[in-house]
């Protein structure tokens, strides 16, 4: 059973893991060095409690602590119960949802380990927007993608905002960094995956004309604006475009990825 601990002083050393959550660069450095990450919001914390990650502690408002009582009873972890004012002073921003948690990062997996049991993979290049990474992870989990690979420039998939936007689904998605980019993509192809580069180019194959069937596929997406680099595109087996109306420049990469995931998932179901 979780241990409930009332926190009245924002300077209490027991909640030092939650200090300064609003400073993204500093927090990333601290969290990666300490091997931890933060989950925010009641629904995300609930997902965290069900995930394979080890939870170090939680800081909850009295209302959320009562709401999560049944789930907390199944875990032996410290739960710091504090008012919204105290929580906000600790974190340096208004935690209006009344729930944050700190969990331990898991050992990083290799690309080979991630691909071993995967059939559909999403690959991100240079995506440094936390919300986009989170949205893609959420869509991947909902639409049958087995794993995510990221280049070294893409954002931390366990950053607080990313975890929140994914609604905690990133915690159930296997992921790894590709150490050499783009040369490391050769390992993906060697594992039997077709590399499919998504591009806004109208010269690419329309999504509706591409049938992945039962083949292993790796769907590659670049950052909004620049898209995939020429080097990454050159290694692709196929370039695909999600057609949109000609009077619209582009759509969000998270939306494009979700459309692509749905297309592959539908093709898989039809091929069964």
- pLDDT of 28-49, one tens digit each? 788 888 999 999 999 999 999 9
pLDDT value at position 115?
97
pTM: 0.94
pLDDT value at position 250?
85
- For residue 69 the two structure tokens come to 């009582």
**Residues 6+ positions from 85 with CB-CB distance below 8 Å:** none
Q: Cα separation of 240 and 139, whole Å? A: 19
Strand 36-40 relative to strand 3-6, pairing? unpaired
pLDDT value at position 187?
94
- For residue 171 the two structure tokens come to 């915690």
Mean pLDDT of the chain: 95
Secondary structure element (H or E) that encloses residue 81, with its range:
strand 78-81
Return the closest-CA partner of residue 188 out of 198, 176, 200: 176
For each of the domains in the chain, give its residue range(s) and CATH number, in order of start.
3-104 (3.30.1330.30), 111-271 (3.40.1280.10)
Express each pLDDT in 60-72 by its tens digit: 999 999 999 999 9
pLDDT value at position 249?
83
pLDDT value at position 32?
83
38 bridge partner residues:
102
260, burial (CB in 10 Å: exposed 0-12, middle 13-18, buried 19+): buried
pLDDT value at position 16?
94
Q: Cα separation of 23 and 32, whole Å? A: 14
Which parts of the chain register pLDDT below 70? none
């Amino acid at each position: 059973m979780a241990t409930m601990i009332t926190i009245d002083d924002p300077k209490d050393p027991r909640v030092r893991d939650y200090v300064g959550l609003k400073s993204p660069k500093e927090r990333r450095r601290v969290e990666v060095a300490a091997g931890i990450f933060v989950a925010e919001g009641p629904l995300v914390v609930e997902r965290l409690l069900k995930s394979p990650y080890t939870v170090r502690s939680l800081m909850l408002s009295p209302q959320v602590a009562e709401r999560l009582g049944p789930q907390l009873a199944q875990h032996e972890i410290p739960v710091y119960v504090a008012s919204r004012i105290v929580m906000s002073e600790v974190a340096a921003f208004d935690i209006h949802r009344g729930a944050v948690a700190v969990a331990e990062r898991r050992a990083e997996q290799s690309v080979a380990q991630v691909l071993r049991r995967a059939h559909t993979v999403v690959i991100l290049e240079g995506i440094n927007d936390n919300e986009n990474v989170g949205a893609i992870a959420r869509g991947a989990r909902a639409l049958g993608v087995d794993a995510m690979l990221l280049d070294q420039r893409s954002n931390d998939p366990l950053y607080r905002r990313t975890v929140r936007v994914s609604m905690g689904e990133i915690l159930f998605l296997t992921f790894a960094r590709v150490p050499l980019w783009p040369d490391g993509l050769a390992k993906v192809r060697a594992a039997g995956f077709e590399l499919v580069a998504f591009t806004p180019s109208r010269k690419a194959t329309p999504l509706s004309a591409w049938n992945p069937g039962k083949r292993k596929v790796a769907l590659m997406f670049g950052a909004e604006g620049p898209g995939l680099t020429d080097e990454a595109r050159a290694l692709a087996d196929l370039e695909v475009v999600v057609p949109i109306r000609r009077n619209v420049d582009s759509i969000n990469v998270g939306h494009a990825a979700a459309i692509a995931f749905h297309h592959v998932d539908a093709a898989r179901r039809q091929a069964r």
